[in-house]
A and B are shown apart, each in its own frame.
Chain A
Amino acid sequence: MMKTHSQGGSAPPVTGITASWVNLAIIVVIGILSLVSLYFGFKSFIEDQITAYTYLLIGALGFAAIGYMLFRGGRPSAQSKMDIPRAEIITTLECPKCNLRRVRDFKQGDYVFKNDEPCTRCDGVMIISRVNRKKEPDKEKKQGVIE
C-alpha cells in the first residue's frame, strides 16, 4: 500500500493538559480515597459496625466509579485492531447440465452468472451461481432474541 503520500487532513491537535491525563489523575485520587476508606472500614469493624459499613460502602463506591470510568473511556489502542477488514470469499459453480456443484476460493474476475470452466463430470460449462463470504461459525453468537 502506498501510505507515504501526503494526506488530505491532519490528526486532531493535542495541546496543553490532555483529557487522558485528567482522567488518570481523577482515578488515582479516587483510588487513594477509596483505599483509605476501606482501611478505616476494616479497622473499625469490631468497635462500631455502622461506621465500618459506611466506610466500606464509600470505598466500594469509589472503586465502582473507577471501574465505570475505565469501562467508558476505552483507550484508542484497544479500539484500533484491524481497521479495514478482509473477508474470506468463496465461489460456487454449478453445471446446468449434470447439476454438479463445486465450491472454490474466489478469484478476481469471478462474478455471478459467469460461464466459468468446463464441467469435470460432463461436457457442459460450469456457471458461477454464487459468490459470497465464507461463513464463520466461531463468530456466531446466540443473542437470546425474543421472537
Chain B
Amino acid sequence: MTVLFAQILQQETDLNMIIQTLFSFAFIVYLFYAQRLQSLQMLNQIEATLRRLKKIRDEARGISINAINEVGKPGVDISAKVDRIMEFISIPLTEMDPYGIVDKLDHYLKVNHDIFEAEVKAIAPNAAEVERQNLENLVGLTFELNYIYKAMRHNYLMGKKTMNIYIILQVHMILPLIMQLVESLTVGIQATREGIPIGDSVGPIVAGRLMKDYPKRDISKEMVSAEVPFDGRTLIVMKAKGPGGTVGTPDEAIMTALNEKEGKVKIIIMIDAAGKMEGEPVGAISEGVGAAIGGTGKEKFKIEEITVKYKVPIHAIAIKQGMEHTMAPLVEELAEGAEKAGESVKRIIMDYSQPGDIVIVAGIGNTIGVGQ
C-alpha cells in the first residue's frame, strides 16, 4: 500500500497536485470536525423522527377530541381540558424505605386511576360506562404519545444546545426502540376508538369462552366471575368486566375467591399475553408455573402472597405476541392462539385436579371488545 501511494505521489502533474491538496484538506477537516459532523448527522435523524412523532401525537389528540365530542357529547369545547389531561403528572413514590411499598403503590395506583377516570367522566358526561372506559384507553394512549414526544424533544434540544456527542448518541441509539414503542401505541388508537379486541385481550377471551353460558357476578372492582362445572370439578372463572377497555383488579378477585373458599382451591390457572422473542411465532402457547400477570408488579405480589398463604400452585399459560400486537386490533394468529390456550386450560385441569376439586381460572388482560 505504501509503495502504491509513493508511486502516485511521484507523479507531479498540476491536476495531481490539486487533487492531492483537496484530499489533504478533506482529511484535515475531517480530523477536526468528524465528531461534530457525526453529531449533526445524528441530530438530523432525531429531528426527522421527532417531526414524525409530533404529527402522530397531534393526530391522536385530534382523534381523542373527536371521539369525546361524538360519544360524550360535552356540549362545550373540550380541547383545553384534553390538553390538561395530556399534561397530567404522576409523581413517583419514594423508595427510601421500601417497607410497605406495595400497599403504598396500590393506593397510589388506585388514586391515579380514580382521578383519570373522573377527568374523562367530566369531559364525556353522556358516555355510557363501556364507551367511557374505551375513551379512558384512548386518552391514555394520547397521554403516553405526548409524554414520549416531550421526553424525546427534551433530549434532542439538550443535545443540540450542548452539542455533546454522548448525549446525542444516547438518544440516537434508542431511536429505533422508541419508534417501535410509538408504533405499538399508534396501532391501538383504532382499537380503543372503536372497541375492537386487542392482542392483550387474549386472556379475557379464553376466560369468557369458558364462562359465557353461566351466571356471573361482580367479584371485585371491574371483575366478573362465574362458577362453571367441568367434568366433576368446579371452576371459578374470572376476567375483567367487558366489553369496555379495562384490566380490572385480578389480584383482588383471586384474593376474594381464595378467601371465600378458605383456600380450598386445588390450582389456579392464569392466562395472559406474553412478549415473544424474535423468531417465535405469534400466537404460540407456552405453559409453566407462576403468576402470569404484567403491570407494575403489585398485582403479582399480592397474588403470590395469597397463594403462598394457602399453598395453592399457580399454572401459567402465555400466549406469545410481539410488542406491535399488544395494543393493536387482534390478529388471526392470536385469535387462534386463544382457542389453543382454551384447550391447554382444559388439559391442565384434567392433569392436575380430581373430580370434586375447585380450580380458579383467571383470564388476565384488557377486556376491550370482549364480553362474557
A→B interface (CB under 8 Å): 1-3, 5-9, 11-12, 14, 18-20, 22-23, 26, 29-30, 33, 36-37, 40, 48, 50-51, 54-55, 69, 72-76, 79-80, 83-87, 89, 106, 108-114, 127, 130-133, 135, 145-147
- A9 contact from B150, B160, B201, Cβ within 8 A: B150
* Interface status of B194 (Cβ within 8 A of chain A): yes
- When A1-B66, A2-B65 are in contact, do A112 and B41 touch as well, CB less than 8 Å? no
Complex CA distance for A99 and B372, rounded to whole angstroms? 20
Chain B's closest residue to A15 (CB) is B160
Report chain B residues within 8 Å CB of A127. 212
Whether A33 and B153, one on each chain, are in contact in the complex, defined by CB atoms closer than 8 angstroms, is: no
CB distance from A59 to the nearest CB of B (A): 11
A81 to chain B minimum Cβ distance, whole angstroms, is: 10
CB distance from A1 to the nearest CB of B (A): 4
In the complex, number of A-B residue pairs with CB atoms less than 8 Å apart:
176
B208 within 8 A of A: yes
The verdict on A72 contacting B41 (CB below 8 Å), with A80-B55, A112-B197 known, is: yes
* CB pairs A–B below 8 angstroms (28 shown): A1-B62, A6-B79, A9-B57, A9-B150, A12-B156, A12-B160, A22-B37, A22-B41, A23-B44, A33-B22, A36-B19, A48-B7, A54-B4, A73-B44, A74-B45, A74-B48, A76-B48, A79-B49, A80-B52, A83-B56, A84-B186, A84-B190, A112-B201, A112-B370, A112-B371, A113-B209, A130-B330, A133-B331
Q: Taking CB as reference atom, which chain A residue is nearest B15?
A: A40
Q: Which residues of A contact B87 (CB under 8 A)?
A: 8
Q: Is the CB of B8 within 8 A of A54?
A: yes
Q: Distance (Å) between the CB of A51 and the closest chain B CB? A: 6
Contact with A along B69-86 (1 / 0, CB 8 A): 100000000010001001
Find out whether the CB atom of A133 lies under 8 angstroms from the CB atom of B41: no
Neighbouring A residues of B4 by C-beta, 8 Å: 50-51, 54
| In the complex, chain B residues whose CB is within 8 Å of the CB of A113 | 208-209, 212, 370-372
Note all chain B residues with C-beta closer than 8 A to A37: 19
Q: Which of B193-210 contact A (CB under 8 A)?
A: 194-197, 201, 205, 208-209
User: In this complex, what residue of A is CB-closest to B368?
Assistant: A111
Q: B20: shortest Cβ distance to chain A, in Å? A: 11
| B41 pairs with A131, CB closer than 8 A | no
Determine if A114 and B58 form an interchain contact, defined as CB atoms under 8 angstroms apart. no
Q: Is the CB of A130 within 8 A of B335?
A: yes
Q: B332 — which chain A residues lie within 8 A by C-beta?
A: 132-133, 135
CB distance from B337 to the nearest CB of A (A): 11
List which B63-115 residues lie within 8 A (CB) of chain A. 63, 65-66, 69, 79, 83, 86-87
Interface assignment of B365: CB less than 8 Å from any CB of chain A: no
Count of interface residues, chain B, beta-carbon cutoff 8 Å: 74
**Nearest chain-A residue to B182 (Cβ)?**
A83
Chain B binding surface, main DSSP class: helix
B174 within 8 Å of A by Cβ? no
Q: Which residues of B contact A135 (CB under 8 A)?
A: 331-332
In angstroms, how far is the closest chain A Cβ from the Cβ of B142? Answer: 10
Whether B60 is near chain A, meaning CB under 8 Å from some CB there, is yes
CB <8 Å contact, B243 and A19: no
Contacts of B55 in A (CB 8 A): 80, 83
**Do the beta carbons of B146 and A8 come within 8 Å of each other?**
yes
| 9 smallest beta-carbon distances between A and B, as pairs | A19-B44, A111-B243, A76-B48, A19-B40, A5-B79, A113-B371, A1-B62, A132-B330, A112-B370
Taking the complex as formed, is B47 at the interface, i.e. its CB lies under 8 A from any CB of chain A? yes
Cβ–Cβ contact B329 & A133, under 8 A: yes
Known contacts A12-B153, A36-B19, A132-B335, A83 near B52 by CB under 8 Å = yes
Chain A residue with Cβ nearest B183: A85
Partner of A26, one of B37, B59, B79: B37
In the complex the two chains form, is A9's CB within 8 Å of B331's CB?
A: no
CB distance from A35 to the nearest CB of B (A): 11
Closest Cβ of chain A to B223, distance in Å, is: 16
Q: Tell me the bound Cα distance from A85 to B56 in angstroms.
A: 10
B48 surroundings in chain A (CB, below 8 A):
74-76, 79
Task: Kindly list chain B residues whose C-beta atoms are within 8 Å of the C-beta of A54.
Answer: 4-5, 8
How far apart sit A113 and B201, CA to CA, in the bound complex (Å)? Answer: 13
Q: How far is the CB of A36 from chain B (nearest CB, A)?
A: 6
CB < 8 Å neighbour of A73 from B15, B45, B149: B45
